[in-house]
């Protein structure tokens, strides 16, 4: 781990820390005094209100001071009392039951001298305490909190995080320390190049991207990659985490962003790394459900302003990381901001072996250790899990007093790490893996035949967290703004391709894995019918109000329609999905050999991509009814629906 070095510009001398602490102690003392002072001296005894009234009516009360919460009264001297008795206190207090409006009358009738107590008689000290102490406490706590959060000596210097140093200096991490993410490295090499010889680019007027967004699941090496870029280029590395920006006090986050960029610009060329960008850049539309988070918005706005405000050629490059790209504010991805996105995915088998090699460099391995074998046994492991695995194995070997780490140690370590991971994410067993493979190939084959959806780029059964067990990546050939009817139909069929493959191969025993697909397919079908007016039967009538269209799984209120129309809508949606389902099944049935073959290969390699994948998918053939369906949305008259297990 790199040591934090003071690489920053000269900074203001921070205020001494004891000030905050001393103040707190003083405040506490004053506060105690405030409660203690009035209780000095003997307190008059308290008696029940009813007794007080009885005493008044018996004519024994001399004077009464009637306060809001308390009545203090003096008894007349008792002439019959013995000498000792007269020593007894003659002043008592009582608490009125409620505001007793009859009390003045009773008192007057019994000749009691009465009045209200004088306003607070503690004098200047209580005034001082009352007015001065609460603000002091407030500021004291504020300062203390800031102090604690900032980790720096800055009590009571609210918002001024000047003392904070974001620079970690030269990281010393190299690209060779990061393995299994070769594609990302190729893309990032350009950034390194620019940082190293800025002149070469600026001379030609080339603009380098200002912001790079690293997208990928936790532990895949995003932070490590960012450090490696800085290390390769030999430039300082500034880092801060998105969640750190979210402070209790409005304005602090924004001022931190300002400071960070100020410091960075002075040390350009350099890298500014923002981890957990999603904590900061959550879509404003989403966050505003409960009035939004002003602080986050301010911070985000400040970040956008800073990014827009400087020239990329100043040599400050901002790298951010997130594992939830889908919730990011779209403004962050605009040109001139994080317009370059690099996927840092979980490694495949070969990648895992490479990562194991990196981490085994510092470990003494026994002859029998086969890193390739370990890679095979660790599907779904991210880089951090593999690093953990090597360390765990080394610990086991040490515990057993071995000279070197053996394969047996690794095997035991795998079991331990898997057990830990099973709680966190998912590691698939063989049967599940097989199902996911067929499911994904199902998507791919159907997708390959559909119009306008773009090429199927990649199929993977490397699990990606709890949600997706595998995935099929389809890249559009161009930016799309409109989707034609047949393309939406194609999309629905593609979504159902996964589930359909499972039905075919596993004899109709389907799994829960396709629920997200089915959700999306149904949503699309519903939109076709209710929003885009694409149902022949219901006509071009919008039943739905287009509100939250930018969200995939939106749900907007339907226009008021009759129950009959509602039923028709439901029917249309169901039929739309069912026809697409039939087509998906028909395609896979016709290409069953291809499905089998591709799925088996995927099971072996975990990832299929590029030309090899395309060549396979090009062999897919369409069933006869597909064209009619694409054009009209209907199946030819004589078609018998293959299966309609969908609810
Ligand atoms: P992320 O930022 O994506 O959550 P990190 O970069 O913090 O992941 O990774 C944590 C640790 O896991 C790293 O310090 C490194 O030891 C190990 N690691 C993760 N990915 C890789 C990788 N691709 N190659 C080598 N080591 C890795
Ligand atoms: Mg990280
Ligand atoms: Zn699916």
Structural domain count, the chain: 5
The pick from 223, 383, 425, 464 for probing ligand 1's pocket by mutation, whose C-beta has the most ligand atoms within 8 angstroms, reads: 383
pLDDT grade for 152, boundaries at 50, 70 and 90: very low
Give the pLDDT of residue 83: 56
Ligand 1 nearest atom to the CA of residue 224, by list position: 6
Q: Are residues 76 and 28 in the same domain?
A: no
Give SS3 for 461.
coil
Q: Are residues 364 and 496 in the same domain?
A: no
Last residue of a domain, one of 139, 157, 175: 157
Ligand 1 pocket list (CB less than 6 A): 178-181, 216, 218-224, 321, 355, 358, 383-384, 387
**Which residue lies with its CA nearest to atom 14 of ligand 1?**
224
Ligand 1 nearest atom to the CA of residue 177, by list position: 25
Residue bearing the bigger pLDDT, 604 or 104? 604
> Over 90: is that where the pLDDT of 357 sits?
yes
Say if 425 falls within a structural domain: no
**Residue 126 CB neighbours (<10 A):** 15
Say if 524 falls within a structural domain: yes
Q: Which of 168, 247, 297, 440 is catalytic?
A: 440
- Ligand 2 centre to CA of 246 (Å) is 17
Tens digits of residue pLDDT in 567-593: 888 888 898 999 999 999 999 999 999
Closest to 191 measured CA to CA, from 152, 161, 231, 219: 231
**Which residue lies with its CA nearest to atom 12 of ligand 1?**
384
Closest to 463 measured CA to CA, from 383, 381, 380: 380
Closest to 236 measured CA to CA, from 173, 313, 171: 171
- Ligand 2 centre to CA of 200 (Å) is 31
Give me the helices (H) in 87-212, please. 103-109, 124-150, 182-196, 198-203
> Over 90: is that where the pLDDT of 129 sits?
no
The pick from 218, 276, 358, 384 for probing ligand 1's pocket by mutation, whose C-beta has the most ligand atoms within 8 angstroms, reads: 384
Q: Are residues 391 and 261 in the same domain?
A: no
Which residues of 331-476 form beta strands (DSSP E)?
A: 340-343, 455-460, 471-475
Last residue of a domain, one of 419, 453, 469: 419
Say if 424 falls within a structural domain: no
User: H-helix or E-strand containing 237?
Assistant: strand 237-241
Q: Are residues 129 and 111 in the same domain?
A: no
d(CA 457, CA 434): 21
Alpha carbon 72 to its chain's center: 61
d(CA 442, CA 440): 5
**Residue 602 CB neighbours (<10 A):** 24
d(CA 577, CA 535): 12
Say if 441 falls within a structural domain: yes
Say if 640 falls within a structural domain: yes
Q: Are residues 407 and 323 in the same domain?
A: no
Residues 469/428, Cβ–Cβ less than 8 Å: yes
**Which residue lies with its CA nearest to atom 15 of ligand 1?**
384
Among 125-129, 186-190, 374-378, name the one with the lowest average pLDDT: 125-129
Say if 243 falls within a structural domain: yes
Q: Are residues 403 and 502 in the same domain?
A: no
**Residue 226 CB neighbours (<10 A):** 29
User: H-helix or E-strand containing 273?
Assistant: strand 270-275
Q: Are residues 587 and 628 in the same domain?
A: yes
pLDDT grade for 483, boundaries at 50, 70 and 90: low
Among 14-23, 91-100, 396-405, name the one with the lowest average pLDDT: 14-23
What range does the domain containing 76 cover?
43-118
- Ligand 1 centre to CA of 95 (Å) is 69
**Which residue lies with its CA nearest to atom 17 of ligand 1?**
384
Give the pLDDT of residue 597: 95
Task: Considering every ligand atom shown, identify the ligand nearest to the alpha carbon of residue 521 and give its number.
Answer: 3
- Ligand 1 centre to CA of 347 (Å) is 11
> CA-CA distances (angstroms) from residue 316 to 190, 196, 244, 645?
14, 12, 21, 56
| Dihedral of alpha carbons 286, 292, 295, 299, sign | positive
Q: Are residues 269 and 355 in the same domain?
A: no
In percent, the amount of the chain with pLDDT more than 70 equals 72
- The pair of structure tokens assigned to 612 is 């090899």
d(CA 558, CA 337): 37
Q: What angle do CA 419, 421, 425 make, to 5 degrees?
A: 135
Q: Are residues 92 and 66 in the same domain?
A: yes
d(CA 485, CA 490): 9
Ligand 1 nearest atom to the CA of residue 178, by list position: 24
Q: Are residues 447 and 404 in the same domain?
A: no
Q: Are residues 398 and 471 in the same domain?
A: no
Last residue of a domain, one of 419, 441, 461: 419
d(CA 576, CA 119): 81
Task: Considering every ligand atom shown, identify the ligand nearest to the alpha carbon of residue 435 and give its number.
Answer: 3
Q: What is the DSSP letter of 464?
A: B
pLDDT grade for 384, boundaries at 50, 70 and 90: very high
**Which neighbouring-strand residues pair with 328?**
282
Among 279-283, 429-433, 619-623, 643-647, name the one with the lowest average pLDDT: 643-647
**Which residue lies with its CA nearest to atom 7 of ligand 1?**
223
Say if 354 falls within a structural domain: yes
**Which residue lies with its CA nearest to atom 6 of ligand 1?**
221
Say if 611 falls within a structural domain: yes
Kindly report the backbone phi and psi dihedral angles of residue 6, in degrees, each rounded to the nearest multiple of 5, phi listed first.
-85, 85
Residue 622 CB contacts under 8 Å (≥ 6 apart), including other chains: 449, 587, 590
User: H-helix or E-strand containing 66?
Assistant: strand 61-66
- The question of whether 440 is a catalytic residue gets the answer yes
Ligand 1 nearest atom to the CA of residue 384, by list position: 12
d(CA 470, CA 323): 16
In percent, the amount of the chain with pLDDT more than 90 equals 20
Closest to 366 measured CA to CA, from 393, 335, 329, 337: 393
Q: Are residues 337 and 354 in the same domain?
A: no
Domain harbouring 242, CATH code: 3.40.50.300
- Ligand 1 centre to CA of 222 (Å) is 7
Give me the helices (H) in 468-536, please. 485-505, 515-530
**Residue 304 CB neighbours (<10 A):** 18
Closest to 258 measured CA to CA, from 341, 114, 160: 160
Highest mean pLDDT among 121-135, 170-184, 501-515: 170-184
**Residue 290 CB neighbours (<10 A):** 6
Ligand 1 nearest atom to the CA of residue 358, by list position: 25
Domain harbouring 479, CATH code: 1.20.58.760
- Ligand 3 centre to CA of 439 (Å) is 6
What integer is the mean pLDDT of 464-486? 57
> Over 50: is that where the pLDDT of 313 sits?
yes
d(CA 13, CA 463): 51
Closest to 272 measured CA to CA, from 337, 326, 324, 333: 337
Q: What is the pTM of this model?
A: 0.52
Domain harbouring 406, CATH code: 1.10.8.60
- Ligand 2 centre to CA of 417 (Å) is 19
**Which residue lies with its CA nearest to atom 27 of ligand 1?**
383
Ligand 1 nearest atom to the CA of residue 225, by list position: 6
**Residue 421 CB neighbours (<10 A):** 19
């Amino acid at each position: 781990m790199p040591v934090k070095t003071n690489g920053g510009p000269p900074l203001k001398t921070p205020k001494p820390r004891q000030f905050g602490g001393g103040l707190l102690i003083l405040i506490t003392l004053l506060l105690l005094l405030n409660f203690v002072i009035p209780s000095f001296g003997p307190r008059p005894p308290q008696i029940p209100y009813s007794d007080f009234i009885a005493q008044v009516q018996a004519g024994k009360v001399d004077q009464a001071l009637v306060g809001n919460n308390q009545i203090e009264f003096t008894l007349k001297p008792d002439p019959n009392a013995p000498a000792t008795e007269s020593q007894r206190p003659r002043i008592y207090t009582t608490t009125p039951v409620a505001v007793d409006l009859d009390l003045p009358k009773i008192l007057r009738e019994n000749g009691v001298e009465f009045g209200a107590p004088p306003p607070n008689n503690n004098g200047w000290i209580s005034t001082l305490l009352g007015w001065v102490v609460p603000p002091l406490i407030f500021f004291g706590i504020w300062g203390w909190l800031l102090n604690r959060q900032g980790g720096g000596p800055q009590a009571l210097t609210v918002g001024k995080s000047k003392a904070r140093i974001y620079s970690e200096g030269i990281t010393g991490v190299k690209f060779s320390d990061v393995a299994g993410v070769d594609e990302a490295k190729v893309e990032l090499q350009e950034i390194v190049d620019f940082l190293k010889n800025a002149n070469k680019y600026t001379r030609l007027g080339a603009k380098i991207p200002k912001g790079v967004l690293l997208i990928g699941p936790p532990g895949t090496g995003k932070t490590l990659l960012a450090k490696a870029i800085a290390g390769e280029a030999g430039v300082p590395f500034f880092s801060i985490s998105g969640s750190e920006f979210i402070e209790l006090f409005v304005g602090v986050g924004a001022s931190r962003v300002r400071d960070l960029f100020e410091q960075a610009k002075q040390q350009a060329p350099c890298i500014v790394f923002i981890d957990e960008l999603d904590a900061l850049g959550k879509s404003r539309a989403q966050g505003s459900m409960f009035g939004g988070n002003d602080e986050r918005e301010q911070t985000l706005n400040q970040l956008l302003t800073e990014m827009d405000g400087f020239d990329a050629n100043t040599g400050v490059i901002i790298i951010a990381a997130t594992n939830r790209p889908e919730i990011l504010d779209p403004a962050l991805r605009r040109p001139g901001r994080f317009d370059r996105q690099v996927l840092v995915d979980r490694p495949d088998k070969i990648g895992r072996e490479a990562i194991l090699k990196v981490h085994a460099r510092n470990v003494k391995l026994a002859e029998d250790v086969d890193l390739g074998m370990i890679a095979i046994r660790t599907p779904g492991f991210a880089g951090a899990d593999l690093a953990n695995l090597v360390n765990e194995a080394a610990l086991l070997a040490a515990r057993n007093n071995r000279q070197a780490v053996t394969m047996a140690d690794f095997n035991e370590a795998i079991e331990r790490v898997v057990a830990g991971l099973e709680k966190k994410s998912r590691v698939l067993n063989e049967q599940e893996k097989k199902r996911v493979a067929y499911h994904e190939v199902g998507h791919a084959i159907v997708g390959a035949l559909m119009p306008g959806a773009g090429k199927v780029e990649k199929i993977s059964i490397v699990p990606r967290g709890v949600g997706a067990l595998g995935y099929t990546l389809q890249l559009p050939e161009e930016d799309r703004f409109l989707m034609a009817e047949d393309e939406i139909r194609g999309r629905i069929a593609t979504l159902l391709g996964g589930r359909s493959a499972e039905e075919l191969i596993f004899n109709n025993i389907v799994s829960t894995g396709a629920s997200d697909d089915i959700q999306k397919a149904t949503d699309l079908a519903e939109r076709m019918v209710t929003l885009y007016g694409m149902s022949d039967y219901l006509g071009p009538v919008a039943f739905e109000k287009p509100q939250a269209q930018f969200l995939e799984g939106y749900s907007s209120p339907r226009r008021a329609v009759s129950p009959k129309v509602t039923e028709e809508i439901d029917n249309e949606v169901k039929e739309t999905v069912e026809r697409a389902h039939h087509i998906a099944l028909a395609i896979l049935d016709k290409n069953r050999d291809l499905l089998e073959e591709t799925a088996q290969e995927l099971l072996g390699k975990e990832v299929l991509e590029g030309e090899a994948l395309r060549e396979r998918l090009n062999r897919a053939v369409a069933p006869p009814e597909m064209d009619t369906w694409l054009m009209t949305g209907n199946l030819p008259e004589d078609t018998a629906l293959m299966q309609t297990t969908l609810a």
